[in-house]
Amino acid sequence: MARGTKGRWLVLAVPYLWLFALFLVPFFIVFKISLSQDAIAQPPYEPTFDLSAGWDAIREAVGQLNFDNYSYVLSWDNEFLQAYGSSLWIAGISTLLLLIVGYPIAYGMARAPKSIRPTLLMMVILPFWTSFLIRVYAWIGILSPEGLLNQFLMFVGLTDEPLEILATDTAVYIGIVYSYLPFMILPLYAALEKMDETLLEAAADLGCPPFAAFWKITWPLSLPGVFAGCLLCFIPAVGEFVIPDLLGGSDTMMIGKSLWTEFSVNRSWTVSSAVAVLLLLVLVVPIVFYQNVQAREMEGR
């Protein structure tokens, strides 16, 4: 078929170049600056590359690059390693909790009468449209010592004195589960809704108890949704900053918070770049895995 080849080329080139310049190139700059040193100058790091200064100047600048920031970040005393570990742990536990909370909801939605499914779907998406910051903020008022949850618990007599929930890791788990729940439910729902229910009927006819049928049929068929949902929650949760900052305590360590502190309080751009590069290294495997899941989902139909 004859097509305007120039127009065809432009359709691809415009978004390609945009993402190349504003998504890919910045990573190389982050990498370069992670090898630089802080300086009291504008910009606050050295060496800077001045392409007009000639080849020798550039070679000299390259010679000044070193891995000092990495040894600083990777040193056990500076608590970055602990923050990486604790981020992975918190994100992992939260993802598991999300799966436990989200699966029954997605399952119930997929089994609901066809006529009310779009409404249910919309009700899951709607809170996601309201500001993330607002949703996290709402929990401060609920979880604080004089907050609504404690008032309620004391009113029904479950506890005599307010529970310390705000400013603990528990609050961070609640915040992540709450904020990311739609991201878990939607892929699960998509997988469960596609399922052929006659398979379950066949199993039941052959005398398979419902619970065994769930494990042998429903669960394996929903695995693509489980993978997509878990990755969609886990990867951003590792780098989460707002939730640990607003709901967590001073001893809640997450790497997104460390990066932010390094950047905005200590004003070290070079160390924050090294933290970012290492965070990316930690996440590169799940991210590539997610891309494959996503590409197959989008293009394999």
Residue 187 C-beta: closest distance to another protein, Å: 12
Our CB check for another protein shows the closer of 78 and 261 to be 261
> Whose Cβ is closer to another protein: residue 79's or residue 197's?
197
| Minimum CB distance to another protein smaller for 223 or for 287 | 287
What are 259's two structure tokens?
């990066």
CB of 29 to another protein, least distance (A): 5
Q: How far apart are CA 162 and CA 142, in angstroms?
A: 12
Q: In the complex with another protein, which residue's Cβ is closer, 169 or 254?
A: 254
Shortest Cβ 215–another protein spacing (Å): 16
Question: Between residues 93 and 101, which has the closer beta carbon with respect to another protein?
Answer: 101
Distance from C-alpha of 83 to C-alpha of 64, rounded to nearest angstrom: 29
CB of 166 to another protein, least distance (A): 11
Nearer Cβ to another protein (225/256): 256
Which lies closer to another protein via its Cβ, residue 169 or residue 186? 186
- In the chain the first and final C-alpha atoms are separated, in Å, by 23
Q: Tell me the angle at which helices 255-264 and 269-299 cross, rounded to the nearest 10 degrees.
A: 140
For residue 279, the minimal CB distance to another protein (Å) is: 6
- Shortest Cβ distance from residue 76 to another protein (Å)? 23
Rank residues 92 and 147 by Cβ distance to another protein and give the closer one.
147
State how far the Cα of 158 lies from the Cα of 150, in Å rounded to an integer. Answer: 9
C-alpha–C-alpha distance, residues 165 and 252, integer Å: 13
CA 55-56-62 angle, 5° bins: 90
Minimum distance, C-beta of residue 88 to another protein, in the bound complex (Å): 12
Q: How far is the CB of 84 from another protein (least distance, A)?
A: 12
How remote is the C-alpha of 86 from its chain's centroid?
Answer: 15
How far apart CA 135 and CA 239 sit, in angstroms, is: 18
Contacts of 267 (CB under 8 A, 6+ apart): 44
